[in-house]
Amino acid sequence: MTGGDNRSVRARARARHRALSRAYGHLDGLELLRVMIEDEFPGRIALVSSFGAEAAVLLDLVAQVNPATPVVFLDTGKLFPETLAYRRRLTAHLGLTNLHTIQPDVQELAGRDSDGSLWRRNPNSCCYLRKVLPLERALAGFEAWISGRKRFHGANRSGIETIEAVDGRIKVDPLAQWSREDVEMAFVTRNLPRHPLVDEGYLSIGCQPCTTRIGSEADLRAGRWEGSEKTECGIHKAGWSGA
């Protein structure tokens, strides 16, 4: 795609974002998902899920709208075995029928992370290789995607909107305004299975080398890339190149 094509795709997404915000900016949760999946982007929207500590809530809402909605799962090759088991259990529990498990490109891995230690030397490059590039490829056929970020996660998530235009695509965060208590309530009222590592003190769960127990709910994302200034893997940063 040329630079001019890119600019026009981004301009179209921004115009669409303005129209969607005017029409649906007052909605969230199930109501917002329903209009996005059924009316605005039928067959052209995907949920991207980590199958982490809070993921069941959004997956459950999407399944209530349509269990055949595409769900993209990034298997970085560095995940906890418990996450892979939880993905199988939750997918079956919710009756999801369209799971896309996406992995990093084998040749790119061989060229840039042949011994699997890039996360230690350069975590931004590792996230770019194992998450950002695979997600870009996975979303190529979609006009919009859904993520589970919430404002109470803090840092650069504290001001997110429920509908945004990012890198030429519409991004929907139906739970942006939900509180920690709202999430907990959904687990209880919907009787949702918990990620097995939550009981062990992991409250935000990503790749095994970059996730630590925090054992308190003071800052949910404090257990990610502990000891570094990194707070996001890159899939939520517009135009991020992993530099």
- Decide: helix, strand or coil at residue 99: strand
- Decide: helix, strand or coil at residue 72: strand
- Decide: helix, strand or coil at residue 224: strand
User: Which residue from 16, 87, 131, 150 is in contact with ligand SF4, where contact means CB under 6 A?
Assistant: 131
Q: Which two tokens stand for residue 39?
A: 């009316």
Q: Which two tokens stand for residue 138?
A: 């996975």
For residues 53 and 203, is the Cβ–Cβ distance under 8 A?
yes
Q: Are strands 99-102 and 163-166 parallel, antiparallel or unpaired?
A: unpaired
Residues 49-78 that bind ligand SF4 (CB under 6 A): 76, 78
The single residue of 127, 207, 210, 233 carrying the catalytic annotation is: 233
Q: Which amino acid is at 227?
A: G
State the burial class of residue 231 (Cβ atoms within 10 Å of its Cβ: 0-12, 13-18, 19+): middle
Task: Give 40 or 232: the residue with its C-beta nearer to ligand SF4.
Answer: 232
Task: Give 162 or 211: the residue with its C-beta nearer to ligand SF4.
Answer: 211
Any contact of residue 233 with ligand SF4 (CB under 6 A)? yes
Binding-site size for ligand SF4 (CB under 6 A) equals 13
Task: Give 163 or 233: the residue with its C-beta nearer to ligand SF4.
Answer: 233
User: Which residue from 59, 126, 186, 235 is in contact with ligand SF4, where contact means CB under 6 A?
Assistant: 126
Residues 195-214 that bind ligand SF4 (CB under 6 A): 206-207, 209-210
User: In this chain, which stretch among 125-133, 137-145, 157-165, 171-179 interacts with ligand SF4, using CB under 6 A?
Assistant: 125-133
User: Which residue from 127, 144, 146, 214 is in contact with ligand SF4, where contact means CB under 6 A?
Assistant: 127
- Bridge partner list, 74: 102
Q: Look up tokens 């709910």; give the residue.
A: 217
Task: Give 63 or 126: the residue with its C-beta nearer to ligand SF4.
Answer: 126
Q: Tell me which long-range contacts 181-186 makes (C-beta under 8 A, separation of at least 24).
A: 183/54, 183/57, 183/150, 186/57, 186/60
**207 assigned to active site:** no
User: In this chain, which stretch among 65-73, 119-127, 182-190, 213-221 interacts with ligand SF4, using CB under 6 A?
Assistant: 119-127
Please list the active-site residues.
Answer: 233
The site for ligand SF4 (CB under 6 A) is made up of 76, 78, 119, 123, 126-127, 130-131, 206-207, 209-210, 233
